[in-house]
Chains A and B, each alone.
Chain A
Amino acid sequence: MDRPLRLITANPVDQLARTVEALLVVASAPLSVDELAQAADDGSERIETALGLLSDRYREGRSGIVLERVAGGYAFRAAREAAEACSRLFERPVERGLSAAALETLSIVAYLGPSSRPEIARIRGVAADSAVAGLLERGLIAEAGREDAPGGAVRYRTTPLFERVFGLESLAALPRLDDLGESAAEIRERLHSVAVGKTA
């Protein structure tokens, strides 16, 4: 700890850690530091100290329950060493059988922010209706208002569940788009070489 003296002389953070632990056990979705601070009626800094204590206690190799930082908050999950046992008893319905079309649609919504079906179809070149419906049903995307024009199409955004399933601290944890794929110039060049090759 950075400031052990002050913490020890004040209310010991152990008690707060127990409260935070209890809140996280009850929660079914990740809780943010703010939410924890409000529920525990304590300061954000002390909550983070308590979370530090808990992260050390609940970590891979030390406990069957692991505290992880995910989807903008903190949540308990099973330790990876118990994954096999978990898989015998539990299903993972959210990600089971996600098609390539669904993953492409998910990428568009995650990277470009709220997007409508026409926008998704425009990029993928194939109608997005069934992919969007499947993702909605799984809870990976949710409606996020409409396009600005009158009668605008419904837009979709990714949900905290998306970040949790993919183990992302936030959407900022997605790899930068520039690092992925070819640039327009490269593709242009390739198209050109294909065209020249064919006519030659």
Chain B
Amino acid sequence: MTTVYDLPLDLDAFEGPFDLLLTLVLKEELEPAEVDVAAIVIAFVERLAERDQLDLEACGEFLVLIASLLELKARALFPDEEAELGELEPEEAAEELARRLAEYRRMKEAAAWLSERLVAERERYFRVGPAPLAPRPERKLAPQDPHQLAAVLRALAEPPPQVSLAHMALRFPPVSQFLERFRALLSRRRRFDFDTEVSELDRIEQAVAFLALLDLHKAGEISLEQAASFAPIRVSRVDEERKSEWTARFA
């Protein structure tokens, strides 16, 4: 007798020799859970019957292989039951097996009944369409007061307040204007008080003037003093000599 490895199989999940099936399962290319082990056993037994001669070696080999396959499949199907079932006494295990087989048997019978039913009902033709539209749910409202509705509508009918666009008309005077003004001032006086100088300007102009002041300080043309936060800012001219001295010291 040839080995069990070339046993031809024709299962739902696989068609080919037994050894290819084993290889695919071991390479994890075929889920052991998909393999119908009973069908393999039947194929093997049928072949045994054909030969009319018992090959003990082949049978032993087959038993070992099929047992390993069963174990793989059991682990794949019931990963969390391993411990639970392992603790069962042989008697209890047999009981559990019989219970499960009976359950499966009933489902198989039920499937057979459904199959017969399908044949019997083959002559019933009917229209199959998408599920009908669900009826619109009825919206339950609390009792309403018409006057309240009128009041709400009145509030809605009122034109909204005008949005102020004043900020869009703001004009910013150029910084250069203040640069020139401060330079001219400092050519006449050594120092001046920033707050006094800009006191008659509006807020925007004051802000631009302050920018000009910062520019001048950055360029090293002026020095700034302020006794404390929010105290008047004193602006003084940086002398040419002091400026060069400063440059030399920090260069």
Q: Which residues of A contact B (CB under 8 A)?
A: 27-29, 38, 68, 75-78, 80, 82-83, 86-87, 90, 92, 94-95, 98-101, 103-104, 106-108, 110-111, 121-127, 161, 164-167, 174-175, 177, 180-188, 191
Let me know if B77 and A80 touch, CB within 8 A.
no
Let me know if A174 and B103 touch, CB within 8 A.
no
Q: In the complex, what residues of B have CB within 8 A of residue A82's CB?
A: 125
- CB proximity to A under 8 Å, residues B93-129: 94-95, 97-115, 117-118, 120-129
Q: A126's contact among B33, B78, B105, by CB below 8 Å, is which?
A: B33
The distance in angstroms between the C-alpha atoms of A161 and B95, with both chains bound, is 38
Q: B104's contact among A103, A106, A124, A166, by CB below 8 Å, is which?
A: A124
Q: Looking across the interface, which residue of chain B has its beta carbon closest to that of A28?
A: B129
How many residue pairs, one in A and one in B, have C-beta atoms under 8 Å apart? 132
Q: Is the CB of B137 closer than 8 A to any CB of chain A?
A: no
Q: In the complex, what residues of B have CB within 8 A of residue A184's CB?
A: 95, 98-99, 101-102
Q: Looking across the interface, which residue of chain A has its beta carbon closest to that of B105?
A: A181
Q: In the complex, what residues of B have CB within 8 A of residue A126's CB?
A: 33-36
Given the known inter-chain contacts A177-B110, A181-B108, A182-B102, please indicate yes or no for A103 contacting B115, CB distance below 8 A.
yes
Shortest distance between the CB of B244 and any CB in chain A (Å): 78
Q: Is the CB of B146 closer than 8 A to any CB of chain A?
A: no
Q: Is the CB of B31 closer than 8 A to any CB of chain A?
A: yes
Given the known inter-chain contacts A29-B131, A29-B132, A104-B108, please indicate yes or no for A164 contacting B126, CB distance below 8 A.
yes
Let me know if B95 and A188 touch, CB within 8 A.
yes
Let me know if B107 and A107 touch, CB within 8 A.
yes
Let me know if B108 and A122 touch, CB within 8 A.
no
Shortest distance between the CB of B8 and any CB in chain A (Å): 21
Given the known inter-chain contacts A29-B129, A167-B124, A184-B102, please indicate yes or no for A174 contacting B33, CB distance below 8 A.
no
A-B contact pairs, 9 of them (CB 8 A): A28-B130, A29-B129, A76-B127, A92-B122, A92-B125, A107-B111, A111-B106, A166-B114, A186-B102
Q: In the complex, what residues of A have CB within 8 A of residue B105's CB?
A: 181-182, 187
Shortest distance between the CB of B101 and any CB in chain A (Å): 5
Q: Is the CB of B12 closer than 8 A to any CB of chain A?
A: yes
Q: Is the CB of B161 closer than 8 A to any CB of chain A?
A: no
Known: A124-B107, A188-B98. 6 other contacts (CB 8 A): A99-B12, A103-B115, A107-B107, A107-B108, A126-B35, A165-B121
The distance in angstroms between the C-alpha atoms of A59 and B214, with both chains bound, is 100
Let me know if B117 and A38 touch, CB within 8 A.
no
The distance in angstroms between the C-alpha atoms of A86 and B156, with both chains bound, is 62
Shortest distance between the CB of A176 and any CB in chain B (Å): 10
Shortest distance between the CB of B102 and any CB in chain A (Å): 4
Q: In the complex, what residues of A have CB within 8 A of residue B31's CB?
A: 127
Shortest distance between the CB of B107 and any CB in chain A (Å): 5
Shortest distance between the CB of B138 and any CB in chain A (Å): 11
The distance in angstroms between the C-alpha atoms of A123 and B109, with both chains bound, is 13
Q: Looking across the interface, which residue of chain A has its beta carbon closest to that of B114?
A: A103
* Chain B 1-44 per-residue mask, 1 if CB under 8 angstroms from chain A, else 0: 00000000000100000000000000000010111100000000
Q: Looking across the interface, which residue of chain A has its beta carbon closest to that of B35?
A: A126
Let me know if A108 and B107 touch, CB within 8 A.
yes
Given the known inter-chain contacts A123-B107, A124-B104, A187-B105, please indicate yes or no for A107 contacting B132, CB distance below 8 A.
no
The distance in angstroms between the C-alpha atoms of A157 and B192, with both chains bound, is 90
Q: Is the CB of B135 closer than 8 A to any CB of chain A?
A: yes
Let me know if A101 and B12 touch, CB within 8 A.
yes
Given the known inter-chain contacts A107-B111, A167-B117, A187-B105, please indicate yes or no for A75 contacting B126, CB distance below 8 A.
yes
Q: In the complex, what residues of A have CB within 8 A of residue B104's CB?
A: 123-125
Q: A127's contact among B34, B114, B123, by CB below 8 Å, is which?
A: B34
- CB proximity to A under 8 Å, residues B174-210: none
Let me know if B111 and A103 touch, CB within 8 A.
yes
The distance in angstroms between the C-alpha atoms of A152 and B107, with both chains bound, is 24
The distance in angstroms between the C-alpha atoms of A78 and B76, with both chains bound, is 47
Q: In the complex, what residues of A have CB within 8 A of residue B121's CB?
A: 165-167
Q: In the complex, what residues of A have CB within 8 A of residue B77's CB?
A: 121-122, 125, 127
